[in-house]
Chain A
Amino acid sequence: MQQPNKLKPFFENLNFERQDNTMVINFGPQHPSAHGQLRLVLELQGEQVVKAYPDIGYLHRGVEKMGENMIYNEFLPTTDRLDYIASTSNNYAFALAVERLLGIEDKVPRRAKVIRTMLLEINRIISHLFFLATHALDVGAMSIFLYAFREREFAMDLMEDYCGARLTHAAVRIGGVPLDLPAGWIESLSNFLNKLPEQIKLYEDLLTENRIWKMRLEDVGVVEPDDALSWGCTGPMLRGSGIAYDVRKEEPYELYSELDFDIPVSDRKDSYGRYRLYMEEMKESVKILRQLISMYPKTECKLMAHAPEYISAPKEEIMTQNYALMQHFVLVTQGMRPPKGTVYAPTESPKGELGFYIVSEGEPYAYRMKVRAPSFFHTGLLQDLLVGTYIADVVTIIGSTNIVFGEVDR
């Protein structure tokens, strides 16, 4: 029995000596492979997990509450802090939801769409490289971590050249993008794209047929298709269970309907299948980016949608025309007022389906902002997935779900 006092408060039923010979251990929240702030309470029978209880909330910052108390443009940089590995995908998901609410999704200029799609795919590569690096590190393949982070640096350099930030990009605006691509950016991107497939081949040579890697990953963390659907799994977690659903293909946004790419699906259902999926998705992203490079020169130089009620005019107009300046002043000080209504806009972020559910009452502040984060539901799945596995596989399974705690706790 615990004897709580002021310095040792009572911790919920953490009894280390129990009648039934099981042991309860605390995994995290400071465990290096707990991917941030995951506390996992595991009940063990020998080395086998009998019960798993993911305890989250250590990174809860009230992003939804902040979204309800900030004007829409003000909130956009805050969305960077959700899935901080691929910030632009969060910015974009939010911008898309607001654009759908405003009804200006089709008014976004084509050049802005090309740039946004490029940024989204670069972010996907950054996120997948990060997944590969940390997952391999957790499982014990140290060198992959170093190789993958090298390439990730190059991709982050591209983001830095575009928007000036490496991690919290805020590179998308509601109605377009703030900047055109800088001079020479396309060349650096194509250099990167020429380099990356070789590197992906290097990772695959090191891992795909690696005996230890296969032993650690094969048949570990098997998610049945019904469970994956029921637990709300999306993205690679869903496609790893043999269900081909990708929001980019099924409910296309931006330029995805015009692009030629495949959706890799694995019917292995295990961590190894998911690892293969991530590698294939990176190759598809390279394919998409190559097509976008050839699309870019054919676009006019216009970056923001023309919707004077909601979006400020270009800077040249603001500096020369009185009315544009007045509107800009109102939009900055008071914020745009979307029409009354509810919108749920799903996007395919690197981790899965990221959607913003916005209830607007016609005010400059959202009445309700719900972030549907993929990692939240993948964390919920852990309590089902970990039962019956061995403690050595727990790390593999957590790594394979690719959860990011900025997104889980919000």
Chain B
Amino acid sequence: MRRYTPKDNVQKKAKYTDRFYVAPSVPREEIEEGSFFESVVNKLKDSGVELLDTYVELGQLVMKIKPEDNVKALTELKENSCFKQCSELSAVDYLAQDGEFEVFYQLLNLDKALRARVITRIKENQAIETVENIYKMANFAEREMFDMFGIYVNNHSYLKRILMPDDWVGHPLLKTYPLQGDEHAAWYEVDKIFGKEYRDVIGPELRDPARIDRYDTQRFARVGHEVPFGADPSTIDETEVKIEDRYSKTFATDYTTGSKELENRR
């Protein structure tokens, strides 16, 4: 029977996991009373943003909000809690498990040198509002998120692929994206510039670097033979000029049956 591979996550997985292995978790701490993080959370609650979860993970505050609230929450955090910079913004693909993406906004308060993360979950095919008007870095970061995950960002000034070519098919960081390039990817440039018919002229890709094609008259001349450049391969046996291969010949001496040379040396 063929081995089952899940179609919703084609990424590499551990070859072997112990049956009884339970992965430990990074501790999620409660927010300390009277800390700066508590005031941040309180201010956010007062402004009417619903917080689904709050905890401190590895010294950084994590707040889970609803996707509709992202602009409101980030505006509030920037204006009143002094998170002046958004370091990073992107998504994590949880489509296989929950059918959702997790979008995260990694924020920095420069005065207190503290970092917070706002996370939100959106469904597949659900768009999210842009935060470009709050943090201009979102202009590039949201374009990258769209390019890599296919998440649409509403009201973005220029939502277009950024790293991949405009006419690329698929979004590379999805867990369903194949690790090996498919036929479309392999012939991308050829199809675009010369058209599909030209695939036959080029032929399949050869990945063996040591391969020498005897009838190749354009790329590699064969050692010891000369063929006019670009000669018709069918006429190769008639046209080739045989040259004595002086440089590649190895001169073997048979040492077992006592050669004269050896005796002389002794």
Contacts and interface: CB of A to CB of B under 8 A. Distances in A.
Interface of A: 6-7, 9, 12, 56-57, 60, 62, 64-65, 68-70, 100-101, 103, 227, 229-232, 234, 243, 245, 250-251, 333-335, 337, 339-344, 346, 353, 355, 357, 359, 361-365, 367-368, 370, 372, 376-377, 379-380, 383-384, 409-410
Interface stretch (B22-30, B33-41, B44-52): B22-30
A238 to B, nearest CB: 9
5 closest Cβ pairs, A-B complex: A362-B23, A341-B26, A232-B137, A380-B140, A250-B113
A230 B193 contact: no
A27 B182 CA distance: 32
Contacts of B192: 9
Contact of A353 (B15, B62, B87, B173): B87
22 contacts: A6-B193, A57-B161, A64-B148, A68-B11, A229-B84, A230-B85, A232-B141, A250-B110, A333-B15, A334-B14, A337-B21, A339-B24, A341-B25, A341-B26, A341-B58, A355-B106, A364-B14, A365-B11, A368-B92, A370-B90, A376-B144, A379-B140
A245 B234 CA distance: 71
Given A341-B57, A343-B26, A370-B88, A365 B12 contact: yes
A243 to B, nearest CB: 7
Interface of B: 11-16, 21, 23-26, 57-58, 60, 62, 84-88, 90, 92-93, 104, 106, 110, 113, 115, 117, 135-137, 139-141, 144, 148, 161-166, 172-173, 177, 179, 192-195
Given A9-B193, A346-B115, 17 more contacts: A6-B193, A9-B192, A60-B163, A65-B172, A101-B58, A232-B137, A245-B113, A250-B113, A339-B23, A342-B57, A342-B62, A343-B58, A344-B87, A357-B104, A363-B13, A370-B90, A380-B137
Given A230-B135, A364-B14, A344 B140 contact: no
Contact of A229 (B85, B92, B173): B85
Nearest to B92: A368
A347 B164 CA distance: 28
Contacts of B14: 334-335, 337, 363-365
Nearest to A69: B12
Contacts of A359: 92
Contacts, number: 137
Contacts of B117: 342, 344
A381 B86 CA distance: 14
Contacts of B110: 229, 243, 245, 250
Given A229-B85, A368-B93, A7 B193 contact: yes
Contacts of B11: 68-69, 365
Contacts of A365: 11-14
Contacts of A357: 88, 90, 104, 106
Contacts of B23: 337, 339-340, 361-363
Given A229-B84, A340-B26, A6 B137 contact: no
A356 to B, nearest CB: 10
A391 to B, nearest CB: 23
Contact of A56 (B88, B115, B137, B163): B163
Nearest to A251: B113
A256 to B, nearest CB: 13
A410 B144 CA distance: 12
A409 B148 CA distance: 12
A346 B87 contact: yes
A337 B88 CA distance: 25
B205 to A, nearest CB: 18
A288 B81 CA distance: 34
Contacts of A232: 85-87, 135-137, 141
B162 A56 contact: yes
Contacts of A341: 25-26, 57-58
B163 A57 contact: yes
A339 B26 contact: yes
Nearest to B174: A65
B83 to A, nearest CB: 10
A363 B14 CA distance: 7
B58 A334 contact: no
A227 B136 contact: yes
Q: Name which of B23, B85, B86, B139 has the most chain A CB atoms within 10 A of its CB.
A: B85
Contact of A60 (B16, B88, B164, B194): B164
A209 B25 CA distance: 57
A246 to B, nearest CB: 10
B84 A377 contact: no
A247 B13 CA distance: 35
Given A334-B15, A365-B13, A372-B88, A57 B140 contact: no
A293 to B, nearest CB: 29
B115 A344 contact: yes
Contacts of B173: 64-65, 68
Nearest to B195: A6
A353 B84 CA distance: 15
A264 to B, nearest CB: 17
B135 to A, nearest CB: 6
Given A334-B16, A362-B23, A363-B13, A372 B162 contact: no
A231 B113 CA distance: 18
Contacts of A364: 14
Q: Name which of B15, B21, B26, B117 has the most chain A CB atoms within 10 A of its CB.
A: B26
Nearest to B139: A380
Contacts of B62: 342
A351 B202 CA distance: 43
A380 B140 CA distance: 6
A339 B106 contact: no
Contacts of B12: 68-70, 365
A378 to B, nearest CB: 10
B119 to A, nearest CB: 9
Contacts of A227: 136
A71 to B, nearest CB: 9
A361 B177 CA distance: 19
A339 B25 contact: yes
Q: Name which of A7, A367, A368, A410 has the most chain B CB atoms within 10 A of its CB.
A: A368
